Amino acid sequence: MMDQQLLQNLRAQTRPLHDRLEAIVDGARLMKPPFDQPHYARLLRAHLAFNLSVNEQFASGMPFEVRIPAWPEADRVTALKEDLKALDVNAAGEGMPAMPLAENAAFVAGLCYVAEGAAMGNQMIHKALLQHPEFAALGADRYMQQSKAGLSGRWKAFQQALGHYLKVSEESVIAGAKAGFLHFEGIWLALS
């Protein structure tokens, strides 16, 4: 069972960076007419670069005492590339800021916390986007659909692993989550 106090501590410690990133990305802009295709494409490109960065952490050969469910996340990357292709947008990540390799698995769990949180936040954006006929006609919501699929069960399974790493090194998980928010912000700004 996940220690809810540890999760609350993680949320409290990362809330300022979360809120700042939310303001910078301005997902609310996508929730009101007219549909802003360039902003949506930028969001997808940022998610692609971020997910690729997180996946790189798993390719480093670092030992994970407890598996982090759904990671490395190849399906998200595939869906993002297909959506960007549907939008006729280059999915290449040249010029994106690099994230240094993490020191331990708890740090990587913090990065995954940011990615899983983004998948949950995408659901509000996707629901609003579906109200725009021009969005529905694009056929570029594979990532949003993939994020939604099994979200509740995936979050519960993820929380179990996250709980383990919070108990092992709460400080490293929080550092990873903070680095994740800052990395996503850096990607977003590089795409401007």
Q: Which residues contact 70 (CB under 8 A, 6 or more apart)?
A: 154, 157, 158
pTM above threshold 0.85: yes
Helix (H, G, I), strand (E, B), or coil: what is residue 102?
coil
**Cα 29 from Cα 105, distance rounded (Å):** 35
The domain tally of the chain equals: 1
Cβ-based neighbours of 13, under 8 Å, separated by 6 or more:
174, 177, 178
Q: Which of 103, 116, 118 is nearest to 168 (CA)?
A: 103
CATH code for the domain of 132: 1.20.910.10
* Mean pLDDT, rounded, for 80-87: 96
Per DSSP, the three-state class of 39 is helix
What the block records as the tokens of 66 is 């407890």
In the chain, the percentage of residues whose pLDDT exceeds 70 is 98
The larger pLDDT score, comparing residue 95 to residue 118, is at 118
pLDDT tens digit sequence for 128-148? 999 999 998 999 999 999 888
d(C-alpha 170, C-alpha 106), whole Å: 8
Q: Which domain holds residue 131?
A: 4-60+68-190
Mean pLDDT rounded to a whole number for the chain = 92
- pLDDT, tens digit, 9 for 90 and up, residues 17-63: 999 999 999 988 998 889 999 999 999 999 999 999 999 999 888 99
Residue 27 to residues 59, 63, 74, 125, Cα–Cα distance (Å): 30, 35, 24, 7
